Every structure is written in C-alpha cells, then in structure tokens.
Structure 1
Amino acid sequence: MQAQVEIGYDQLVKLVKQLPKKQWTQLKSEVEKNEVLTDTQSDMLTLLLNGPTFSKKQLNEIAKARKEINQWRTK
C-alpha cells in the first residue's frame, strides 16, 4: 500500500537537510543517477533527430536494388 503526500519545496529542503550524512549521500547519488539517464536519453534523441538521412536519390537506388534482388531470387 502506498500513501502519497504533497510536500512543498521549502518543506522538502528542510527535511533533506535533516538527513544523516549517509542517507544524504544515498539520496544525492540517486538523484544524480536519474539525471544521467535523462541526459543520456536527451543525447540519444538529439543524435537521432540531427543524424544523417537518405536523399531521395539514395532511396530510389535502394528501392531499385531491392527490386533487382527480388527478381534475381525468384528466377
């Protein structure tokens, strides 16, 4: 069973400052781990969106090659 509590930012900061050093370190590493995942996902998205694409000429050449290969295979 889970309970959800809404805590204001100031309250959250106050609670975090009260954590023992060991728990603070654990919390900090968890937050940083999530930031790394988000950055990695963002980097991958940027790479995919800005990556190279085929020109219409290249797509036509690929389609032609596929057609020729399919004709060759059916002989």
Structure 2
Amino acid sequence: MELRMEIGLDQLIQAIKHLPAKQLAKLKAEINNVVPEKTDKESFKAFLLQAPVFTDEQITLIEEARKSMNKWGKN
C-alpha cells in the first residue's frame, strides 16, 4: 500500500513542530542519514579549495593599478 500526499513546505514545517520529542529525534536521525552534516570547518575548507585564484599576471596588474591609484590620490 502506498500513500502519497502533496504538502507545502510551510505545512511540513508546522507538522514537524508538533511532533513529540521522541519522533522529532527519529526524524532528525533519518534526515542526517540522507544528508550528512558538514562541520563549518569542512564547509569553509571546501569553499576555499573551490574558489577561483588570481594568476601572477592578474596580481601584477592589480599591483600596478594600486600604485597608479595611490599616485593619483596624492596629486
């Protein structure tokens, strides 16, 4: 037997808020099995490893632009 229901996210959240503590803990355990939690440190490390980096040429251009802007501000 299969039961399917279409329920909005807000309705689902309200239903979850009314669960007893024991069922809420069981639901949380099930969700963690489906979507394991990453620590903030792991998430930040992954973000940094996937972030774009400047090439040496781009860094040189940025430094030259900074020097030029500094000179312009002093005049």
Q: TM-score scaled to structure 1, two decimals?
A: 0.49
Q: Which structure: greater helix fraction?
A: 1
Q: TM-score scaled to structure 2, two decimals?
A: 0.49
